[in-house]
Amino acid sequence: MITKQDKRIWYCLAIAALAFSLFGCIAQNTEEPKPPYSENASTEANDSFNNYTDVNESEEVILTLIKFHGNSQCVSCTNLGKFANTTLHEYFQNELREGKVQYLDINAETDIQNPYVQKYHPTHASLYLLTKRSAGEDFEELAQAWYYTNDEEQYHAYLAGLLRTKLGE
């Protein structure tokens, strides 16, 4: 016979499992931002960042911001993508029109056949920057963006500055 206490234990275990699910939210913290290398990113994603080399500024660069997420998103997870998209539309209108920058929102939990999900194997809600050049591509997690998900102006300043640097502006 299942007692009320047994039901409570199972209920607590179910809540804990949900909280620690693969695409749970990433808590905000006050630690100093770390470099884009991520323990959660696939080896291929980290290796492409570590092999980054500067190239000729006149070379065409195409930037793709990719927000990976699961079915459930907290406010910070939602802001991570919403602020990235608004940064592009507010600061990079010409580049969007010319195809030099783009934004993709990918639910990695339901869109498991997506080529980016297949290639980079995201393990958590995250924002990545894919930089394509004739010499190849770089893929890096923009983990620092999480620090600004509660302040849209700071988020825009951080991301716009990073993208301008990548575009050689």
Q: For residues 106 and 23, what is the distance between their CA atoms, to the nearest angstrom?
A: 12
pTM: 0.66
Question: What angle (nearest 5°) sits at the alpha carbon of residue 81, between those of residues 22 and 55?
Answer: 100
| Domain chopping of the chain, boundaries | 34-167
Q: How many CB atoms lie within 10 A of CB 38?
A: 19
Tokens 């939210």 correspond to 25
34-167 is classed CATH 3.40.30: yes
Provide the residue-wise pLDDT of the chain in tens; the chain has 169 residues.
667 666 666 554 455 444 444 344 444 344 444 444 444 454 444 444 444 444 455 678 999 999 999 999 899 999 999 999 999 999 999 999 999 999 999 999 999 899 999 898 888 899 999 999 888 889 999 999 999 999 999 999 999 999 999 998 7
Calculate helix-pair angle for 75-91, 152-167, nearest 10 degrees: 50
Could you tell me how many residues make up the chain? 169
The separation between CA 160 and the C-alpha centre of its own chain, rounded to angstroms, equals 15
